[in-house]
Chain A
């Protein structure tokens, strides 16, 4: 297709949508510096007091710590399980592959409220008390599809004869995986870790059923949204997290692009099938 050089309505459209996407976020950030306890217009003066109050709220810090711990744990576990699954799916064409692929990606298409209540029933039947770690183990389930997606699209990008070469040179299959395959897919592992981390860190629906009194940050934030005077502080917290998340995701995106040979959002397994 020849390059179009219209001063296009397309560009205008993208501009408008962008403005709409950023408006709510800009409002939040402005209110986090607004010198008034209520979130109403017009704006009063500039203040940093909401940011200063953050360090004094022990409940908020406890829930932040919980969220960081379960996000870390669940993303490590999801990435390990996702790596195993991705290697099995991409490198072997054996019976069970199709069922595994279907089941492991199914959490993508099941509403979180259903997963949340189903896991609540599981904990109840097994006599396991509600806790933040329980939410962490649940987050692994919703993260696995993304881990598999990211890692398998990296795996199809390089041929399996590198593993064969390592084995010809005397490595066992598992040594070849650890010393050849894993290092080659390591950018994808980091990208998967970061994406799964942010999925867990931001997840409210499932966690709200499973954490009990052991709140995670989103659960704590939701409980505070009812109290208008607590809001500016919550928003200040969110503004900080937003900045940190953006940095983490920019790094993840950069790694994913640096480490990928196929199309931007995958095309991995599909293109492998086309080859076979």
Chain B
């Protein structure tokens, strides 16, 4: 049939590309997780050792769950802070909507590394906050009390994700039929009731998408912990990066990556119970 030949021609090239550089590498990682070692003879023998090590290692698992917990918290807080922004833009900003939107998005166009690094200038021992505290006499010497902790990592990442969480929430709020709210008011709903029973439920797909825009990258973070987290603020992503770049234990690193991927997929599965992924992502 003509139609299906056209379809296959169009979809063929992108599919091959996605297979070679996305599906295949993940598949190779699965194979690598069963290898005994990274190089030499150890690479050619297969074993379950790394999975057993992982299952028996409390520290690895604890860090994975802690990182998932941190990511969950960061995503929840970033979305809670972003929701009122999106709500104001969608319902109250009026003619200033586009200008405000631009204003909120522009910071995300700055170098990601530098935006994170900037928090070192704020939280660091000789940073803005410490200097102000010293000036006010709250502290007596400059010391790294605010930086190099999980809290510093979380504050920085919440800052980074607020605009990204706001976008999908805004777009789902924009899609709400305004007549629904008028009808609710005509039928005697207070504004709070209308918000809780109409606006909030209808904006949930946006909130879910916003949650994932913050949750997924935070779970894989290793840059922010390196810059502002220090040893105390290390996350699971750092562990993976270490296995590949420093410890050179790629099979172990593969097992760790796959365990992180499993968490992401479980979350995504729960999410798709709410609706097709493409709808939630606003596609």
Cα of A116 to Cα of B184 in the assembled complex, Å = 50
A114 contacts B22, CB within 8 Å?
A: no
Interface 0/1 of A66-89, CB less than 8 Å to B: 000000000000000110110110
A242–chain B nearest beta-carbon distance, Å: 5
A103 contacts B111, CB within 8 Å?
A: no
- Asked if A235 lies at the interface with its beta carbon under 8 angstroms from chain B, I say yes
A121 contacts B25, CB within 8 Å?
A: yes
- Asked if B58 lies at the interface with its beta carbon under 8 angstroms from chain A, I say no
Interface size on B, residues (CB 8 A): 96
B222 contacts A113, CB within 8 Å?
A: yes
Residues on the B chain within 8 Å of A131, using CB: none
Residues on the A chain within 8 Å of B162, using CB: 17, 21
Cα of A13 to Cα of B80 in the assembled complex, Å = 13
Residues on the B chain within 8 Å of A269, using CB: 278, 283
B121 contacts A28, CB within 8 Å?
A: yes
B10 contacts A84, CB within 8 Å?
A: yes
- Asked if A49 lies at the interface with its beta carbon under 8 angstroms from chain B, I say no
Q: A121-B25, A202-B111 are in contact. Are A27 and B128 (CB under 8 A)?
A: yes
B220 contacts A24, CB within 8 Å?
A: no
Main secondary structure, interface of B, reads: helix
B-to-A contact residues, CB < 8 Å: 2-4, 6-8, 10-11, 13-15, 17-18, 21-26, 28-29, 32, 81, 84-85, 87-89, 91-94, 100, 102-107, 109-115, 117-119, 121-122, 126-128, 131, 159, 162-163, 167-168, 170-171, 174-175, 178, 181-182, 185, 212, 216-217, 219-223, 227, 237, 240-241, 244-245, 250, 253-254, 257, 260-261, 264, 268, 277-279, 281-283
User: Given known contacts A84-B13, A111-B220, what 14 new A-B pairs fall within 8 Å (CB)?
Assistant: A24-B121, A39-B126, A94-B7, A114-B261, A117-B253, A118-B26, A125-B28, A204-B112, A205-B222, A218-B112, A221-B113, A242-B110, A249-B105, A263-B171
Which 8 A/B pairs are nearest by Cβ-Cβ distance? Answer: A111-B220, A24-B118, A118-B25, A266-B282, A265-B171, A88-B10, A10-B88, A122-B25
A-to-B contact residues, CB < 8 Å: 1, 3-4, 8, 10-11, 13-14, 17-18, 20-25, 27-28, 31, 38-42, 81-82, 84-85, 87-88, 92, 94, 96-97, 100-115, 117-122, 124-125, 137-138, 140-141, 144, 148-149, 152-153, 173, 198, 202, 204-205, 209, 218, 221-222, 225, 234-235, 238, 241-242, 245-246, 249-250, 253, 263-270
